[in-house]
């Protein structure tokens, strides 16, 4: 068999391939050749073959048949073989293959090899992909090498120890004695990796953290030497002495100084020194400053130092280099919780960053802006944020919309209602990016901002014409059209208003569309029903409603049947039922109200039947009349029979209460207090809010409809506590 | 911790891929493709940091990249690494390659990918930074190459 081709040749050949298929063919041919060569147990060319295999693996072709060969290479005596073998092991093998355990013995031998480079290879491989079993077996060897005087091996052993600790945390104690004099090394490589090792140990164990606190003075000294030492050619990067080591030490200081006064005190001076003396013209200087700022913010530093840190960040924000600005925004985001006022000073710069072209900077600026919104600056911020929402990329819209909505909810007060509503509308118009559970909140908000009804319904109607696929938008829009449809067609809006038939077309379209969920269809049907008192085309509405009386969807069917009943038997009640909704009070501020939005499921608990029945609200806003019995009712005026009917709708779920209505005992109240009608309602009151009830009675007396309003406030405390 | 180091050219062809966490081969290729897709869309004068793609871990991981001529050098790191520090590290890596290959270009990386791996192994080990001093790295790499050369007195070589 001819000698296998060299890696160089293979690469050259593959590069001549003009299509993916050609490349695949070449690779397959070569794989076959390699496989037969492996089968022949050819020692001389094995490393060449494995190198080729690794190249093909990088291009994405399967190379698992080379795993055992890597092991054979590792076991070989030659350095060339070992080098490729270990590289192959790192690229092709991992813990999930059983083959890797076979390496343990080889690595053990190599860790004790006479040549430092072989030892280095073994450490490197163990540190990259050693499994927990391997780490357990070989931890002793690593620990030995950690104490050697050879700096090349010592630094590799330190990082290998980090990997061992990550895989087998219980072994951390084992490395403790070896760390004693790690920091007195002169070699920067060893120093660097030692600091990494110490950092890892401190992060993992609070005991270690306490133990290593005594190293703070030593670390401070090393840092001081680095800054003051002047030009040292071997460690110099753009004029600063070993910035990587400085950054690492600063990070370790941060961990050591967190929530510890003494250590923080010891660090104050050096941090101030680094912050003021570091040159900021190059990236390296800024890297160190950045790390310093993070450390100052995290430890218990004095306030002067903190102000210095935030000012540095403020300067970063104005820097031309985008990377610096990005990094500044990230760190301001971390500190905004603790030093809110200091960050507020830079608010205008942050808001400017919203207009940056860079996607990463925009995202950071957006998050930071939301964190900075408070009662004082809500107006200005909202304007900027709404503008951003309009003009930003789709990938931001979701987060931006929910952020604006949350901010509006939290800080929007009555005086800012129109601002609030505009904000919320924009969110909804941003489409599917609004959470589904915000629909009731939006509806409540819209109801309460009375002067905006016309504008709101007009905008929502227009949005509906464009797109009916976003369910939250459709639900809110159809609700509004149902409520304020008369405003929509009456010419109160500035632009051309639609005619009644168009509006009904749109709503009917929602009912039949495949895009609408069952909930949306429910909204649409109820909206159509409500328009029967606001529009004149009642016949059309009647027809639509009756069609859905036989719908497969049970919810729709029930509604349609009940609405049908409204048209037929209870037509006299229809106007009252379908009236405008009153202003809803926010439950958080006012305790229980009688008309509240829905949220969550709970089980009912019984209430004594003696209490008069409360008002219920079906899932869609039709007010229920009910009849109750009052022994207090004035019956002296009449002697004739009352007859009134009861319509009960299924109760909806309340934010603070849940109600379950059972059927009344009868639907006629005899005159002259000769009898009563009782209806049991079960109320679940998980928040133990005070029970109050407002009652509206609608009944017929001597053939004509009567309405009566009353309030019940005297529920005995035992009933709701 | 550094999760992965990738070098690919302007067309997305990988020139070096080293993962410090285990993924299957398919996932690795997908990661390379996705990273290329994210990075190639970037303008020249935007910042060098990107939030990581979906595959390699989502929110905690960042892509820090630099574009030199025809090659993208991408380091995928988590939040324990300093972003600006990694930028400097990429710079040191490229300068080291430049010294080792004498005015390095893409072809050098293509034909000597194993040597690039060896240089990288002296800088980053197990996802953590091992050595940042360029001269130190070059000294070690040269010594190991000399060892290799002294072994191979036969005509057989790797490449």
In angstroms, what separates the C-alpha of B88 from chain A's closest C-alpha?
7
List CB contacts (< 8 A) between A284 and chain B: 84, 88
Q: Measured between CB atoms, which of B47, B131, B133 is closest to A358?
A: B47
Residue found under tokens 């005509």:
B155
Interface touch A48/B156, C-beta < 8 Å: yes
How sure is the predictor about B158, in pLDDT bands with cuts at 50, 70 and 90?
low
Chain A residue at shortest CA distance from B113: A55
Q: Min CA distance, A650 vs chain B (Å)?
A: 45
Of A431, A497, A439, nearest to A468 by C-alpha is A431
The mean per-residue pLDDT over the stretch B123-145 comes to 90
- Could you tell me which chain B residue has the CA closest to the CA of A96? B22
Q: Do A44 and B154 touch (CB under 8 A)?
A: yes
| pLDDT-flagged residues of chain A (< 70) | 1, 230-231, 412-438, 491-497, 584-661, 666-676, 686-692, 695-703, 711-714, 717-721
Q: What is the pLDDT of residues A328-348, one digit of tens each?
A: 888 888 888 777 877 888 888
Render pLDDT for B89-130 as a digit per residue (tens, 0 to 9). 999 999 999 999 988 888 889 889 889 999 999 999 989 999
Interchain CB distance below 8 Å, B159 and A7: yes
**Interchain CB contact of A358 with B (< 8 Å):** yes
Instruction: Assess B156–A contact: CB distance below 8 Å, yes or no.
Output: yes
Residues of B in contact with A393 (CB under 8 A): none
Full DSSP string of A418-448: HHHHHHHHHHHHT-TTS-TTHHHHHHHHHHH
A284–B88 CB contact, under 8 Å: yes
The string of DSSP letters for A493-560 reads SSSPPPPHHHHHHHHHHHHH-TT--HHHHHHHHHHHHHHTTTSS-HHHHHHHHHHGGG-SSHHHHHHH
The domains of chain B, with CATH numbers, are 2-150 (3.30.450.60)
Q: What is the pLDDT of residue A182?
A: 85
**The pLDDT value given to residue A653:** 36
Contact B23/A at CB under 8 A? no
Give the distance from residue B24's alpha carbon to the nearest chain A alpha carbon, in angstroms.
Answer: 10
Residue with tokens 């690492």: A248
> What pLDDT does residue A627 have?
35
Rounded to an integer, the average pLDDT of B63-70 is: 90
- Cβ pair B22:A95 closer than 8 A: yes
Total residue count of chain A as it appears in this document: 721
- HSE at residue A61, side-chain half, CA atoms within 13 A, is 21
CB-CB neighbors (< 8 A) of B14 in chain A: 58-60
Residue B137 or residue A510, greater confidence: B137
Chain A: nearest CA to B45, how far in angstroms? 8
CB contacts of B49 in chain A (<8 Å) are 323, 326-327, 360
Take residue A357 and report the two structure tokens written for it.
């072209």
Q: What is the mean pLDDT of chain B?
A: 86
Tokens at A245, concatenated: 């080591």
User: What is the CATH code of the structural domain delimited by A638-644+657-719?
Assistant: 2.60.40.1230
**Distant-in-sequence, close-in-space partners of A55: CB < 8 Å, separation ≥ 6:** A7, A10, A11, B113
Residue A160 confidence (pLDDT): 93
A-chain residues near B158 (CB < 8 A)? 6-7, 47-48, 51, 80, 84
ipTM > 0.90 (yes/no): no
A60 touches chain B (CB under 8 A): yes
H helices of chain B, where? 25-40, 83-101, 106-111, 113-123, 134-151
Residue extent(s) of CATH 2.60.40.1230 domains in chain A: 638-644+657-719
Answer yes or no: do A62 and B143 touch at CB < 8 A: no
pLDDT (mean) for B47-63: 72
> Which residue of chain B is at minimal alpha-carbon distance from A9?
B159
Distance from CA of B1 to the nearest CA of A (A): 10
> If contacts are CB pairs under 8 Å, which of residues 254-283 in chain A contact chain B?
283
State whether residue B33 sits within 8 Å of chain A by CB: no
Contact B25/A62, CB-based, under 8 Å?
A: yes
- Smallest Cβ–Cβ distance between B48 and the set A59, A160, A323 belongs to A323
B contact residues 58-77, partner A, Cβ 8 Å cutoff: none
CB burial class (10 A; 0-12, 13-18, 19+) of residue A699? buried
Contact criterion met (CB < 8 Å) for B113 and A55:
yes
Of A385, A387, A301, A373, which is closest to residue A343 (Cα–Cα)?
A373
Indicate yes or no: CB of B47 within 8 angstroms of CB of A127. Answer: no
Q: Dump pLDDT digits (tens) for A197-214.
A: 999 999 998 888 888 888
Q: How far is A50 from chain B (nearest CA, A)?
A: 9
Q: Which pLDDT belongs to residue A194? A: 92
Nearest to A160 by CA among A190, A126, A137, A183: A126
Predicted local confidence at residue B93, as pLDDT: 94
Give the A:B interface size as CB pairs under 8 Å.
Answer: 174
| CA-based nearest distance A587→chain B, Å | 36
Of B82, B84, B117, the CB nearest to A87: B117
Does the CB of A115 have a partner CB in chain B at under 8 Å?
A: yes
């Amino acid at each position: 068999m001819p000698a296998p081709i060299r890696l160089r040749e293979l690469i050259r050949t593959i590069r001549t391939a003009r299509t993916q298929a050609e490349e695949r063919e070449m690779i397959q041919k070569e794989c076959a050749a390699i496989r037969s060569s492996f089968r022949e147990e050819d020692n001389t060319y094995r490393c060449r073959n494995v190198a080729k295999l690794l190249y093909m693996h990088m291009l994405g072709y399967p190379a698992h048949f080379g795993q055992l060969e890597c092991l054979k290479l590792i076991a070989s005596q030659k350095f060339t073989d070992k080098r490729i073998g270990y590289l192959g092991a790192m690229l092709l093998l991992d813990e999930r293959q059983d083959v890797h355990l076979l390496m343990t013995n080889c690595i053990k031998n190599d860790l004790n090899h006479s040549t430092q480079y072989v030892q280095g290879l073994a450490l490197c491989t163990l540190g990259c992909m050693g499994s927990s079993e391997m780490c357990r077996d070989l931890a002793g060897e690593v620990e030995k090498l950690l104490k050697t005087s050879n700096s090349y091996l010592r630094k590799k052993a330190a990082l290998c120890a980090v990997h061992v600790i990550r895989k087998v945390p219980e072994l951390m104690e084992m490395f403790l004695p070896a760390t004693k004099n790690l920091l007195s090394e002169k070699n920067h490589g060893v120093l660097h990796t030692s600091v990494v090792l110490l950092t890892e140990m401190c992060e993992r164990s609070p005991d270690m953290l306490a133990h290593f606190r005594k190293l703070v003075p030593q670390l401070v000294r090393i840092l001081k030497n680095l800054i003051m030492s002047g030009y040292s050619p071997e460690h110099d990067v753009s004029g600063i002495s070993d910035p990587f080591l400085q950054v690492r030490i600063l990070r370790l200081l941060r961990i050591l100084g967190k929530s510890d006064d003494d250590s923080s005190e010891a660090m104050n001076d050096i941090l101030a020194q680094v912050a003021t003396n570091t040159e900021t013209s190059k990236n390296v200087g800024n890297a160190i400053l950045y790390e310093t700022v993070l450390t100052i913010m995290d430890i218990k530093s004095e306030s002067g130092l903190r102000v210095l840190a935030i000012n540095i960040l403020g300067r970063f924000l104005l820097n031309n280099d985008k990377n610096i600005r990005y990094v500044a925004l990230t760190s301001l985001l971390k500190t905004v919780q603790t030093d809110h006022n200091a960050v507020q000073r830079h608010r205008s710069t942050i808001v400017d960053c919203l207009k940056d072209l860079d996607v990463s900077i925009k995202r950071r600026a957006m998050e930071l802006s939301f964190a900075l919104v408070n009662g004082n600056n809500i107006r200005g911020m909202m304007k900027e944020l709404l503008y951003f929402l309009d003009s930003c990329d789709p990938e931001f819209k979701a987060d931006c919309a929910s952020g604006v909505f949350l901010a509006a909810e939290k800080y929007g007060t009555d005086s800012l209602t129109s601002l609030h509503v505009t904000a919320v509308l924009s969110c909804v118009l941003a489409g599917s990016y609004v959470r589904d559970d915000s629909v009731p909140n939006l509806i409540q908000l819209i109801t309460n901002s009375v002067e905006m009804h016309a504008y709101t319904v007009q905008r929502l109607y227009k949005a509906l014409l464009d797109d009916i696929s976003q369910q939250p938008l459709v639900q809110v829009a159809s609700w509004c059209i149902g409520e304020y449809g008369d405003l929509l067609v009456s010419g109160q809006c500035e632009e051309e208003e639609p005619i009644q038939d168009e509006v009904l077309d749109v709503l009917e379209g929602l009912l039949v569309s495949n895009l609408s969920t069952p909930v949306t269809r429910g909204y649409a049907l109820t909206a159509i029903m409500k328009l029967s008192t606001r529009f004149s085309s009642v016949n059309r509405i009647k027809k639509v409603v009756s069609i859905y009386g036989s719908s497969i969807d049970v919810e729709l069917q029930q509604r349609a049947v009940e609405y049908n009943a409204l048209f037929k038997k209870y037509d006299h009640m229809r106007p009252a039922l379908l009236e405008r909704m009153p202003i809803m009070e926010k439950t958080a501020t006012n305790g229980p109200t009688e008309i509240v939005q829905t949220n969550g499921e709970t089980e009912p608990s019984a209430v004594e039947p003696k209490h008069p029945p409360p008002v219920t609200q079906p899932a869609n806003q039709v007010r229920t009349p009910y009849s109750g019995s009052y022994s207090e009712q004035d019956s002296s005026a009449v002697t004739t029979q009352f007859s009134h009917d009861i319509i009960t709708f299924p109760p909806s779920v309340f934010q603070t209460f849940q109600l379950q209505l059972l059927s009344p005992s009868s639907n006629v109240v005899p005159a002259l207090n000769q009898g009563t009608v009782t209806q049991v309602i079960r109320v679940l009151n998980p928040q133990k809010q005070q029970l109050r009830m407002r009652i509206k009675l609608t009944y017929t007396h001597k053939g004509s409809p009567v309405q009566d309003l009353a309030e019940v406030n005297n529920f005995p405390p035992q009933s709701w506590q | 911790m550094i999760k992965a180091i990738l070098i690919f050219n302007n067309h997305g062809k990988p020139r070096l891929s080293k993962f410090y966490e285990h993924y299957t081969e398919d996932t690795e290729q997908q990661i390379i493709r996705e990273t290329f897709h994210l990075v190639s869309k970037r303008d020249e004068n935007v910042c060098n940091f990107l939030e990581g793609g979906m595959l390699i871990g989502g929110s905690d991981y960042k892509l820090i990249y630099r574009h030199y001529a025809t090659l993208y050098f991408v380091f995928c790191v988590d939040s324990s690494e300093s972003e600006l520090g990694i930028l400097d590290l990429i710079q040191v890596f490229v300068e080291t390659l430049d010294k080792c290959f004498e005015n390095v270009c893409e072809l050098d990386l293509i034909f000597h990918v194993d040597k690039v791996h060896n240089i990288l192994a002296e800088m980053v080990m197990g996802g953590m930074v091992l050595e940042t001093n360029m001269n130190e790295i070059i000294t070690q790499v040269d010594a190991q190459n000399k060892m290799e050369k002294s072994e191979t007195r036969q005509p057989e070589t790797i490449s």
